[in-house]
Structures are given as structure tokens and as C-alpha cells.
Amino acid sequence: MQEIKYVLKDKLGIHGRPAAQLVKRAAKFKCDVQIGSSVKMVNAKRIIGVMALTLKQGEECTMTFNGEDEEEAAAACKAFLEENL
């Protein structure tokens, strides 16, 4: 299992367009991908769950990856977070 933590820098937090792009990126991998905070974790391949988190600027989000291509998925999602959020 891989895990990454990231503090959101975007002033809008995880909002519509980057949330959709993150879901699209996560869906490319076979492994189970979860995103959330210490309060709640959701399936990162489902836009409704990601949007329902309402993570804001300054909050830490955690992503977990479990499965056969988890290392590739973790690297791709970490790069996405750093470039876009």
C-alpha cells in the first residue's frame, strides 16, 4: 500500500475542474485509490465523492493506493496534486 499526503495550496481547494481531472487520472489505474482527510475517505475514481469532501486551501489531503500498479498511480497523482492544487 502506498500513501501520499498533500497540503492544498489552491485558494479554492479541490473544486470542479481539478477534481474531475484528478478522478480521470486515478481512473486510469487498476489499483484502489482513496482520497480524503482524517475525517472521511472516499473513492478517488468517483467525482461525487471527491467533490463531497469540500477540501479547502491549507487542509491536508491523504491519498492511498492499494493494488498491482499502486506505485505508478501514487507517482502520477502526487505529480498532479503538486502541479494543480
Catalytic residues: 15
Tell me the DSSP string of 47-75. HHHHHHT---TT-EEEEEEESTTHHHHHH
Query: Angle at CA 74, nearest 5°, toward 72 and 75?
Result: 65
Helix and strand numbers, DSSP H then E, in the chain: 3, 4
- Given a contact cutoff of 8 angstroms between Cβ atoms, the answer to whether 65 and 32 are in contact is yes
